[in-house]
Chain A
Amino acid sequence: MSGKKITLDAKGKYYKQFNELIRQKAQEGYTDFVLENVNGHRYIATALCGDLKITIKGVAGQDTGAFMGGPHLRISGNAQDGIGNTMDSGKIAINGMAGDVLGYAMRGGSIFVRSDVGYRCGIHMKAYKDYVPEIVVGGKAGDFLGEYMAGGIILLLGMFSDKPDAPVAGRSLGTGMHGGVIYVRGSVPESQLGPNLHTQPVDEDDLQTIRRLVDAFALEFELDAETVMNENFVKIRPFSHRPYGNLYVAT
């Protein structure tokens, strides 16, 4: 289907009416949206399905792209908290920074953030069969990245950050993770990792995955993939399949 384009202005519109308008236009067959003057409007593209392209100009509000299945969102500015909450499939590219709990309980699709992310990003991510969610962060992350992660991939580059003095990831990285993998460009101090976690060197398979993600990330933000790849990577994996399996079992 050839893209049917429409530009919608969020200025002065309440988020409910604005989201209703977007859904109505999607039902009318529009597939290519430009949303102007978005400023903290919540729930844009939440649970929206289909082959849609949506450009959000401004600050994306809470839970943008939550439960989303399919659309490609491009956010020109920064994004607030809870972006891609329990997202199912599709893509979100944020050409700035993002707040806390990005990709919370994400089940599939990909999120690219050019710069820094807040706390608890990728918390409770999970994978099932072909659904493998992916998050690539170009900058640095706050504490609890990938907390309770059950599946999927997080790639943390630490390159395009506004926080020169901060470590690449905050404290308690991967705390409680029992599935999935976190890749970090360069290295990460072990003291930043959650209990019993260690960094490991990456192997050929890992590098292939990283290369694929870096290419997609670089393409999204017009960056040089080679510069990104020109450094070592480490990975963090759960220390066992069921690290807390015996927590409530009398032994």
Chain B
Amino acid sequence: MKAPERYYDFQKDISGCGVFGVISREKKLISGDMPINAMACMHDRGNGLGGGFAAYGIYPEHADKYAFHIMCDDRRGVEGSEHLLRQYFDIHEFEPIPTRETLAIHNPPLVNRYFVTVREDKPEDLSKLPEDDYVVAVVMKLNTQVPGAFVFSSGKDMGVFKGVGYPEDIAEFFRLDEYKGYIWTGHNRFPTNTPGWWGGAHPFTILNWSIVHNGEISSYGINRRYLCEHDYLCTLMTDTEVVAYELDLLIRKHGLSWNLAAKVFAPPFWEEIKTMPEQQRELHTALRYTYGSGMLNGPFAILVADNNRLMGLNDRIKLRPLLVAEKDDMVFMSSEEASVREVCPELDRVWMPKAGEPVIIDVKE
């Protein structure tokens, strides 16, 4: 499961990841078949070195507990991660994540899930942290301190399933056709700069946040150092990891709106800011000054979700494709219209959003 030796010597290839997302505004449950078939339609955007899905609304019976998905190289990793989990959490239920044996998936890691709540008697080292920060801190601890173990999902009533393979094969492996959720995102990976390994597949998550990304984040270095100052430690060797942690920092901890967080990721150009009305100008100037280290430089089309929302966003000069479509209470976001038509041939509206302008869709409460 660890990145192969000398992974940086691997030959690079042209990029072309694929992303797909769907949200039911009425919170109607959508079978995993829909995102699976949509991703399979974009098979050629990836090369079999990474596929994955995020699903919301899949654990209603455990909605009050954090659902930890953990992948481990071996039994030692499982024991190490369980030992650490028990120190910080009450584990209410745990089991291997149900999988199918499939020919396409080789040497999968051990994948387990744990439904946990924070212990009443928090250990001294993290006892002062508010609950969400406490959970984030445990994820960082596990990822950095337990050899051969990684948390790949840690939210409530949601889960991420990912690994090395085409998305349809990963879905077969994780039996995603058996799940139903009201928000789904999917990813087909074509790694360019970093290794194709299980932890490096998309989506990336922390708490309820999930992100899938087509593109590359050239600012990874500065973003990573910025996050490190805020106790987010990047361990998964893929640029997209920074976006998951930035969402948590900017929106949950700093209280920015999703729209403003999108403007941190893809800020307006200075010459655009110059022509804005005064209040807007001050706002965007302040955002750029404050969060310069959080800006995502490079080409991207990203889909971000939590339990109530799906957001699509392009880099500000639109170097990757992104399409939005609507049908009744469903909204789709995808790299290709074909993938949407594959699962929903008749659409009410189809459009391509403006570069740098987020498309934010909420579920109705």
Question: Within the complex, what minimum Cβ distance (angstroms) separates A35 from chain B?
Answer: 14
Instruction: Pick from A59, A61, A80 the residue with the most CB of B within 10 Å.
Output: A59
A186 to chain B, nearest CB (A): 20
Q: Indicate whether B44 reaches chain A with its CB closer than 8 angstroms.
A: yes
Question: Which listed residue, B321, B342, B351, touches A100 by the CB 8 Å rule?
Answer: B321
Evaluate whether A39 and B317 lie within 8 angstroms (CB atoms) in the complex, with A99-B352, A162-B351 already known.
Answer: no
> Which residue from A80, A100, A118, A143 sits with its C-beta under 8 Å from B338?
A80
Q: Is A85 an interface residue (CB 8 A)?
A: no
If the complex has contacts A39-B41, A39-B342, A59-B337, are A80 and B355 also in contact, measured as CB distance less than 8 A? no
Q: A40 to B339, Cβ gap below 8 A? A: yes
User: Given that A39-B341, A78-B337 are contacting pairs, would A143 and B318 also be in contact in the complex, using a CB cutoff of 8 Å?
Assistant: yes
A183 proximity list for chain B (CB < 8 A): none
Contact call B318/A78, Cβ cutoff below 8 A: no
Is residue A191 contacting chain B, with contact meaning CB distance below 8 A?
A: yes
Q: State A110–B341 Cα separation when bound (angstroms).
A: 27
CB-CB under 8 A from B317, the residues of chain A are: 119, 143-144
How many residues does chain B have at the interface if contact means C-beta atoms less than 8 Å apart?
A: 20
> What separation, in Å, do the CA atoms of A81 and B16 have in the docked complex?
12
Per the bound structure, the CA–CA distance linking A118 and B322 in Å amounts to 10
Do A100 and B337 touch (CB < 8 A)? no
Assembly CA distance A96 to B357 (angstroms): 23
B338 A142 Cβ-Cβ under 8 A: no
Question: CB distance B355 to A142 under 8 Å?
Answer: yes
The reply to whether the CB of A166 lies closer than 8 angstroms to some CB of chain B is yes
Taking the complex as formed, is B86 at the interface, i.e. its CB lies under 8 A from any CB of chain A? no
Q: A81-B321, A100-B321 are contacts. A119–B341 as well, Cβ < 8 Å?
A: no
Q: Does B91 contact A (CB under 8 A)?
A: no
Given contacts A99-B352, A118-B352, A142-B355, is CB(A80)–CB(B321) below 8 Å?
yes
Tell me, rounded to whole Å, the shortest Cβ–Cβ distance linking A160 to chain B.
14
Instruction: Return chain B residues, CB-CB under 8 Å to A80.
Output: 321, 336-338
A232 to B318, CA, bound (A): 30
Taking CB atoms and an 8 Å cut-off, the chain B residues in 274-297 that contact chain A are: 275
Smallest CB separation, A190 vs chain B (Å): 12
Nearest-Cβ distance from residue A225 to partner chain B, whole angstroms: 27
**Assembled-state Cα–Cα distance A40/B41 (Å):** 8
Nearest-neighbour CB distance to chain B for A15, whole angstroms, equals: 8
- How far, in whole Å, are A214 and B351 apart by their CA atoms in the complex? 25
* Interface flag for A194 (CB, 8 Å): no
How far, in whole Å, are A177 and B130 apart by their CA atoms in the complex? 56
Interface residue A5 (Cβ < 8 Å from any Cβ of B):
no
B122 at the interface (CB under 8 A from A): no
A52–B44 CA distance with the chains assembled, in angstroms: 28
Chain B 290-326, CB within 8 Å of chain A: the 1/0 string?
0000000000000000000000000001100101000
Q: Closest approach, in angstroms, between the C-beta of A149 and any C-beta of chain B?
A: 17
Q: Report the Cα distance A123→B339, complex, angstroms.
A: 26
A132 → B minimal CB distance (Å) = 28
B140 contacts A by Cβ under 8 Å: no
Give min CB distance, A148 to chain B, whole Å.
14
Does A163 make an interface contact (CB < 8 A)?
A: yes
* Complex CA–CA separation, A144 to B336 (angstroms): 21
* B contact set with A: CB distance below 8 Å: 41-42, 44, 275, 317-318, 321, 323, 336-339, 341-342, 349-352, 354-355
Closest 4 A/B residue pairs (Cβ): A40-B338, A119-B318, A39-B338, A59-B338
Q: Please list the residues of chain A having a beta carbon within 8 angstroms of any beta carbon in chain B.
A: 15, 39-40, 42, 58-59, 61, 78, 80-81, 97, 99-100, 116, 118-119, 142-144, 162-163, 166, 170, 191
What are 20 A-B pairs at a CB distance below 8 A?
A15-B44, A39-B41, A39-B341, A40-B337, A40-B338, A59-B337, A59-B341, A61-B336, A78-B350, A97-B352, A100-B318, A118-B352, A119-B318, A142-B352, A143-B318, A144-B317, A162-B349, A162-B351, A170-B354, A170-B355
User: Besides A40-B339, A61-B338, A116-B351, 10 other CB < 8 A contacts?
Assistant: A39-B342, A40-B342, A78-B350, A118-B318, A118-B352, A119-B317, A119-B355, A142-B352, A163-B351, A170-B355
